[in-house]
Amino acid sequence: MGNKYYDKTAERFSKASGFVADKQTSRDLKLASKEIEDDSKINVLVMGISGAGKSTLINAVLGEDKAKVGDGVAITRKMKAYENDDVQFRMVDTVGLEFNYMRQQKILRELSKWSEAGLSRKNLNKLVHCIWFCIDAQSKRVSDESLNYLYKISKMWKGIPIIVVFTKSYSSVAIKDNEEMFWNVLKKYQKKKSFNVCNVVSVLARELVIDETNIINDYGVDRLIDATTELIPKAKEINEEVMTNWSYKMRKNAAKKFVKAAKRSAFVATVMPTKGADADFIEPIWDSMLQKIASAYLLDETEEALMREKVTATRKGEEFLIKLTKHFKVLYALEMYSATSMIGGDAIDVSFKMLKEKTK
Residue-level pLDDT at 69: 45
69-80: per-residue pLDDT in tens? 444 444 445 678
Residue 3 has pLDDT above 60, yes or no: no
- Both 276 and 328 in one domain: the answer is yes
- Which range scores top for mean pLDDT: 1-5, 149-153, 178-182, 284-288? 178-182
260-286: per-residue pLDDT in tens? 888 888 877 777 665 555 567 778 888
Q: Rounded to two decimals, what is the model's pTM? A: 0.70
Contacts of 343 (CB under 8 A, 6+ apart): 286, 289, 290, 311, 316, 317, 320
- Both 95 and 187 in one domain: the answer is yes
Last residue in a domain, options 230, 261, 294: 230
For residue 90, tell me if it sits in a domain: yes
- Both 75 and 197 in one domain: the answer is yes
- Both 20 and 60 in one domain: the answer is no
Contacts of 85 (CB under 8 A, 6+ apart): none
- Both 169 and 46 in one domain: the answer is yes
- Both 73 and 166 in one domain: the answer is yes
For residue 125, tell me if it sits in a domain: no
3-state secondary structure of 199: strand
- Answer for the pair 243, 38: CB distance below 8 angstroms, yes or no: no
- Both 153 and 216 in one domain: the answer is yes
Last residue in a domain, options 209, 230, 251: 230
Residue-level pLDDT at 72: 46
Residue-level pLDDT at 278: 59
Residue-level pLDDT at 264: 82
Dmax over CA atoms of the chain, in Å, equals 106
Residue-level pLDDT at 19: 47
297-334: per-residue pLDDT in tens? 999 999 999 999 888 877 666 666 666 665 566 777 78
- Both 150 and 57 in one domain: the answer is yes
Q: What is the mean pLDDT of the chain?
A: 79
Binned at pLDDT 50, 70 and 90, residue 54 comes out as confident
Q: Residue 94: which domain range?
A: 42-120+130-230
For residue 237, tell me if it sits in a domain: no
For residue 208, tell me if it sits in a domain: yes
- Both 246 and 280 in one domain: the answer is yes
- Both 75 and 176 in one domain: the answer is yes
Domain count, the chain: 2
Last residue in a domain, options 172, 196, 230: 230
- Both 306 and 190 in one domain: the answer is no
Query: Higher model confidence: residue 338 or residue 213?
Result: 338
Contacts of 74 (CB under 8 A, 6+ apart): 80
- Could you write out the DSSP letters of every residue in 84-144? -TTSSEEEEEE---TT-HHHHHHHHHHHHHHHHHHHHTTBGGGS--EEEEEEEGGG----H
Residue 340 has pLDDT above 50, yes or no: yes
Q: What is the mean pLDDT of residues 239-256?
A: 85
CATH number at residue 108: 3.40.50.300
- Both 247 and 303 in one domain: the answer is yes
